[in-house]
Each structure stands twice: as C-alpha cells, then as structure tokens.
Amino acid sequence: MPKQQRKLFMEIVKENSKKILEKWVNHFSDELFTWALYKTSSKETAEDLVQETFMAAFNKIDTFQGKSQPKTWLFSILNNKVIDYYRLSAKTTKLTFSISENRGYELSDGLFDETGHWQSNEINPIWNQEEELLDNPEFNRVFENCIQNLPQKWKDAITYKYLTDKKTDEICQELEITVSNYWQIVHRSKLLLKKCLETNWTH
Amino acid sequence: MINSCEKTTQLIDKQIVSRLSFKEKIQLQLHKSICKSCDSYENQSRFIDVLINNSFKSKINKNVKMTQERKSKIIEETKKI
C-alpha cells in the first residue's frame, strides 16, 4: 500500500476504534466498575482501574480478535489490572489473610484418608439446620471469615459467577483458567469452607 | 467399580458447574445410594453455594455507580490518544 494511502487507512481504523470504544464505555463500565469495587472496596480505585482497562483496550484493540465477546475481553484486562494493583500495594500493606494455593490443596486432601474415604463419617449437625442458619448473622460472619481465608484465586473463582450469573466458559476466559482447573478450584474451595464451618461453628 | 468418597465429592461439585458423562452420573448415583456422608455432601455443597451467593450480594453495593462524568472523561481520554 502506498504511504499516503496507508496513513489514511490507519486514520480510519483509529477513528472506528474510538467509536467502538465509546460504545463499550457506555455499555460495560457499570459492570466492570461493580467488580472492581468489590475487589478493591474503593470507589476511586475502582474508577481508575476501569479507566485503565479502557485505555489498555484501546491501545491493543488490534489484538481483539472477536473470538470472545467484547465484555469478556474487557474483563480479562480488568482482572489483570486488579492483580497489578494488589501486587503494587502488597509491598506497603499486608492486605489479606489468604492461605497459599499449596496449603489449600494440602488442607482439602486432608479431609480424606489414603484410600479416598472421609476421615470422619459423622455428619455435622450444621447440615441439618440449614434453614435457621441461613438467617443467622453470627453464622454468616463465621462463613465470611472462612471465605477470606481461601487462596485469592479461589475466592475469585467462587464469587465470580454471581456477578451476573456468568456462564462457566465466560468465567474461565475472564479469569484465564481452564474449565477443569475451574471446577477443581470450586470443589477444593467448598471442601475447605465445609471444614472451616464445622471447625468454627460450635453452637 | 465403585468410586471413592473423594472422587464422588469431585463429581458432586463438578455437576454444578459442568456436565457429567453418562458413566459419571451412574457412578455418582451408585455411590450415594450406599454412602450417607456423600449423599449429605451433595446438600452441603448446594447450601455452601447459597451462602457464597449471599455473601457476595451483601458485599456488593449496587447503589455506588460510576458517574456519567467519569465515563465521559474516559471517552475524552481515549480521543487524545
């Protein structure tokens, strides 16, 4: 393509990208913001992260293949921005009580013996009081602490689907994990939550 | 062959997010019919799902929204690039 023509072509592409991005900002910022706010608990930080997400998206819009939905693509950019944000702030503050993933595997393996049977066959009374416990504030607080202890990545995996009732394959694309990795993480998390409740709820 | 409890709990959690094969479904039913702990785990797993959902919903503040000004600012910023 002659130089002049190529320049014109690039201008058109850039103008189109701007129009597309403007549409995306109007369509998707609220949802991106809700997740960023949940992850950072700060309105200002969440807004900044959403802005950075769109800037990054604009700068690499030519890599957007249209293989995934625009929303999915934007969420995967946002999730990386959140990770970067925590990586930077972790140097100055200790933010989380999360256990490591390795510890998570160890603890969940520990619920079973070598032959794969439950270490304890007893069914804890918690599981016969579900109706009452659901509305018990103290029980919900204990559960909240149990969630906070999970490895960071596992916490994301189990809460993510409730953001907008996302489908499994969208969740996996946005968190950049495979489907089998995803359900394994959900499974391990539930085992740990079960164990944590049985240990810490003694009423 | 009857699966172990460990394998059975994997299938219980897998069926909630993904699909089980015909063989896996049969294996799951067979094991649950003879194992009270795993039969109960299926209910526990669903209850934990409800708890996670409640926890997430209670922490999300739907009233805090991004302002229209901020959205316009983002659009402005991209125009500068």
Q: Which helix (H) or strand (E) holds B68?
A: helix B68-80
List pLDDT tens digits, range A10-34.
778 777 888 888 899 999 999 999 9
**CA–CA separation, B67 vs B18, rounded Å?**
37
CB < 8 Å to B57, chain A: 162
Record: contact B70-A47, CB cut-off 8 A: yes
Measure CA A91 to chain center: 21
Provide ipTM, 2 decimals.
Answer: 0.88
Record: contact A115-B4, CB cut-off 8 A: yes
What is the model's pLDDT at position A110?
95
List pLDDT tens digits, range A66-100.
777 888 899 999 999 998 888 777 655 555 578 89
Q: Please check whether residue B47 touches A, CB under 8 A.
A: yes
Record: contact A54-B74, CB cut-off 8 A: yes
Nearest chain B CA: its distance from A69 CA (Å): 20
Helix segments in chain A, DSSP class H: 3-40, 43-59, 70-90, 101-109, 130-134, 137-149, 152-164, 168-175, 179-200
Nearest chain A CA: its distance from B62 CA (Å): 7
Record: contact B37-A162, CB cut-off 8 A: no
**CA–CA separation, A184 vs A134, rounded Å?**
26
What is the model's pLDDT at position A24?
92
Percent of chain A with pLDDT over 90: 52
**CA–CA separation, B2 vs B76, rounded Å?**
63
Task: Give this prediction's pTM.
Answer: 0.81
Structural domains present in chain A:
3-90 (1.10.1740.10), 101-200 (1.10.10.10)
